[in-house]
Amino acid sequence: MSTDRKINIVLISLVTLNIFEWEFYLILDDLRYQDFLGQWKLCAYTLRGIDPYPLIGAEIPAVEELGIIPAGWGTTPHGLLLGNLFYAGFLAMSMAAFIPSEPYSIQKDLDAYREINSTLEPAEIYFIVISVAFVLVTAIVIFQTFKTFSKRLAWTSALLAIFSAVQLIPLKNTGNASGTICCMLILISFLQEKYPKLSGVLLAFAMIKPQLALIFCLTLLLMRRFKILFTAAAIDIAAWLIVSFMLQTSPMVLLQEFLATGAGGDKSYAGIFTLFTASNHSLAMGLSMLAGIIYVCIGHKLLSDCKISAFKFFPACIAATFWCYSFYNDFYILILPAIVCVYAMIESKKISIPFVSALFMTVGVFLWMWILFNGMISEIIGVIDWKALLSLTTVQDYVVHTWIVRTLFEVGVIFIGFDLCRRLRNI
């Protein structure tokens, strides 16, 4: 069998596995939308001229029909306005008044509400439409970029962009905008040369989640794409000032209130050093951010002669998952490194490692999550008293197990990134 035919079979297998995984996840569970409810309330209160930050975690809602903003929720000051692109605080969300949005009871509350009213709310429909639209646009842009270069690369990349189950996690499970923001960042990587102003607009909205988007700013800076950075900064600063005017408070007060929200929590995954320094959350975050910055700088240096400029952003995609506070919502960003794996496979005609790498970053994410949340990982690694070993006696077992699995996954992704840099230099 010829090498080209083997590559075709492997590519079909890769896409097919992602489709099966996508369909399995689609029927796996009901809509949860706990993130969506909290973020929608932040935007809705802002549009009514009410500062939402002091209301986070309050037991009594300031506006009855908007409901309580759950503790631990938060967004950037400019996100209070720009976040309406995703969470549509200007559209109705009647369930908000009936569901208190407590982080650990919201599923029960949502289930009870859905039994009475299974119809999607206008704001939910809007969120779904926007999320699906960005996924489709991303797939189309990827296909158009590669179609004259390689039809196999174009079709495989576009289908992976559509059918990766990781994209469904923020859309269906939590109602988080991460999937759409990941699409924006991937679009920037493909549009930054020809459409710098559009890329700047996309970056401004993506900066609603700086833990995802900020590391991309480093790549843009290294590539000297200053117009994109200035456009994004101007939009975000303007949105911040507009929110300040709407809420009749100062920009610095808003910033202080945002920093005081503690969004993400002290027990969340704070980067690749979390497992080793979790007794000091700030240290874990600082070391992880430093590691991410170094990783992107090294990757940029190794990719200086890369033929496809969009591929220079894949180290930032990898770093975005380990350099800062993040959840599994954010893993759709690994679609770009997976596409680079497909490119390396086709160009070098070496199949095994690029195929396994692409599989690891698409199907693998879903598998370890499914195994973790079904208790299998807990049974496997529960034989060791990790809390005592790591001096984390106050942290629940499942949190420690999550940190262990995330750390192992991130180590694998980091090494895949270095391997991809080496392969691109040799193609």
Q: Same structural domain for residues 96 and 67?
A: yes
More confident residue, 70 or 170: 70
Q: Same structural domain for residues 186 and 60?
A: no
pLDDT digits (tens, 9 = 90+) for 373-394: 676 776 767 667 767 777 676 6
Q: Same structural domain for residues 153 and 135?
A: yes
Spatial separation of the C-alpha atoms in residues 74 and 286, rounded to whole Å: 21
Spatial separation of the C-alpha atoms in residues 163 and 27, rounded to whole Å: 14
Work out how many domains the chain is built from and give that number: 2
CB 155 within 8 A of CB 143: yes
Q: Residue 248 contacts by C-beta under 8 Å, 6 or more apart in sequence?
A: 49
Q: Same structural domain for residues 116 and 185?
A: no
Q: Same structural domain for residues 199 and 289?
A: yes
Is pTM beyond 0.75? Reply is: yes
Which range marks the domain in which residue 77 is found? 34-126
Q: What is the pLDDT of residue 172?
A: 67
CB 37 within 8 A of CB 99: yes
Q: Same structural domain for residues 116 and 195?
A: no
281 has pLDDT over 70: yes
pLDDT digits (tens, 9 = 90+) for 128-149: 899 999 999 999 999 999 998 8
pLDDT digits (tens, 9 = 90+) for 1-51: 788 889 989 999 999 988 888 887 777 656 666 778 889 999 999 999 999
Q: Same structural domain for residues 163 and 262?
A: yes
Region of poorest pLDDT, from 144-148, 191-195, 265-269, 397-401: 265-269
Q: Same structural domain for residues 190 and 333?
A: yes
Q: Same structural domain for residues 93 and 199?
A: no
Domain boundary among 126, 159, 180: 126
Domain boundary among 126, 152, 177: 126
